[in-house]
Amino acid sequence: MTPLEDAQAFVLESCPPRTPVTLPRERAGGLVLADVVVSTETVPPFDNSAMDGYAVRSADVATVPVDLTVVGEIAAGAAPDGEVGPGETIRIMTGAPMPPGADAVVMVEYSERLDADAAGNERVRLSESVAAGAAVRRAGDDVVVGEELFFEGTQITPAVEGVLASVNAQQVKVYPRLRVAVLSTGDELIIDGSPLEPGQIRESNKTMLAGMLTAAGCDVVDLGVVRDDEAELERVLRGAAADCDAIVSSGGVSMGDYDVVKAVLAKIADMTWMQMAIKPAKPFAFGKLDGVPVFGLPGNPVSSMVSFELMARPALRRMMGHTQLARTSVVAIVDHELRRAPDGKVYFMRVNGHFADDGRYHVAPVNAQGSHQLAATASADAMAIVPDGTGIEVGSEVAVLLLH
């Protein structure tokens, strides 16, 4: 049997990052930067108020309460049309530029409007002393020109995209999103909702894998169900290799199996068939068809899911420029024993976890661990990595991969 680490290293080595492309920022969300982003602008571009209130000279509010003359108002998006002199203030809104002469802002909550003076000037009473710079956001307080904001390997999350917009980064160099073909094969698979005849089953693997590919950031090309016809399957696979960046299929990868997928791939692709030292997902195939990676996952639905998580997903993420390829791993406390038998394999047991009052992550296995029991696995939010042996006792630690 092939150790999991060796199989993963072989696949990852065969799936280098794609050639970067330059895209408009609006189309780059979720992708990974392929170059450093250097700011060409200052954020904020001018001193501005951090809150609604009154722009003042801090010396004028050293002793409060104090009555000041209101000589203007500045809204966000407007430019100051005057300055603040001794005994004066300007009403200011959040984000509005600070007027000349003022060096602080008093919150509107500490103000009381007064009757106009004899000359008709608006007056306000302020009841809070503030130091110079209070409630003022200085120009460049967030970003300065020439600052290296993000580096290669950074995923463009919504927050990152917002920063890019704030510095006027109209285009970015990124690793492109993958187009990944997914298919199922078999005369027994039914997808149209019709009543099942003897020997028929509902298709589920392709549906599950398409969703997992989407969640991994890929564009999915759903090739549907291909019947057990070698010529038709070869036509579909060659078309996928010409149109897509990778191909994912399930079934027909076990030793000794005769399946049209295995027969066709063995003929038209350079494939490696493996028996990995894990459970579930022991059988796995990987190769290339016309230079396009092909991931052959086992047919049992839970095995297919686990195989995708451990083998296909990290490789696809590497092709899209990600630097963190595997799921996040944490150490958890076992609340219910994880029982198994020694057989030379590492078990990936599906578990549910939660943070307890002790601040630790605690896990317990889902009700069923069979490789065909997808309904039970669907409720799992992590996989416990249980080494060869008899299992892990209650209260012991176990490494887990978080699935969400």
What pLDDT band is residue 338 in, cutting at 50, 70 and 90?
very high
- Same domain flag for 35 and 163: yes
| Residue 147 located in a structural domain | no
Residue 193: the pLDDT is 86
- Which neighbouring-strand residues pair with 346? 278
User: In this structure, what CATH number is given to the domain that contains residue 99?
Assistant: 2.170.190.11
Report the predicted TM-score, pTM, of the whole model to 2 decimal places. 0.89
pLDDT, mean over the chain: 95
| Residue 368 located in a structural domain | yes
Q: Could you read off the pLDDT of 281-331 as tens digits, one per residue? A: 999 999 999 999 999 999 899 999 999 999 999 999 999 999 999 999 999
Residue 257: the pLDDT is 58
What pLDDT band is residue 258 in, cutting at 50, 70 and 90?
low
- Same domain flag for 307 and 372: no
- Same domain flag for 181 and 303: yes
What pLDDT band is residue 262 in, cutting at 50, 70 and 90?
confident
Burial 10-24 (b: 16+ CB within 10 A, else e): bbbeebebbebeebe
- pLDDT above 70: percentage of residues in the chain: 99
Residue 370: the pLDDT is 86
Residue 118: the pLDDT is 86
Element (H, E) at 349: strand 346-355
- Same domain flag for 215 and 263: yes
CA–CA distance, 249 with 2 (Å, rounded to integer): 21
CA–CA distance, 10 with 310 (Å, rounded to integer): 13
Residue 107: the pLDDT is 98
Counted domains in the chain = 4
Query: Residues 141-155: what's their mean pLDDT?
Result: 97
Distance of CA 28 to the CA centre of its chain: 13
Query: Residues 136-161: what's their mean pLDDT?
Result: 97
Q: Could you read off the pLDDT of 199-242 as tens digits, one per residue? A: 888 889 999 999 999 999 999 999 999 888 899 999 999 999 99
CA atoms in the 13 A half-sphere facing the CB of 306:
33
Residue 356: the pLDDT is 95
- Same domain flag for 254 and 184: yes
Least confident of 50-59, 85-94, 109-118, 257-266: 257-266
List the domain range (segments joined by +) for residue 65.
48-137
- Same domain flag for 333 and 204: no
- Same domain flag for 193 and 338: no
Burial 111-149 (b: 16+ CB within 10 A, else e): beeeeeeeeeebebebebbbeeebbbbeebeebeeebeb
Residue 190: the pLDDT is 81
Closest to 50 measured CA to CA, from 172, 169, 121, 137: 137
Residue ending a domain, among 294, 319, 344, is: 319
Q: Could you read off the pLDDT of 72-109 as tens digits, one per residue? A: 999 999 999 899 999 999 999 999 999 999 999 999 99
Element (H, E) at 223: strand 219-226
Number of helices (H), then strands (E), in the chain? 8, 29
- Same domain flag for 309 and 343: no
- pLDDT above 90: percentage of residues in the chain: 85
- Same domain flag for 196 and 340: no
pLDDT over 80 (residue 189): yes
Give the DSSP letter string of 274-331. EEBSEES--EEEEEEETTEEEEEE-SSHHHHHHHIIIIIHHHHHHHTT-S--SPPEEE
Residue 255: the pLDDT is 65
- Same domain flag for 9 and 123: no
What pLDDT band is residue 186 in, cutting at 50, 70 and 90?
confident
Instruction: Look up tokens 């106009």; give the residue.
Output: 116
Would you say 248 and 180 are in contact if contact means Cβ atoms under 8 Å apart? yes
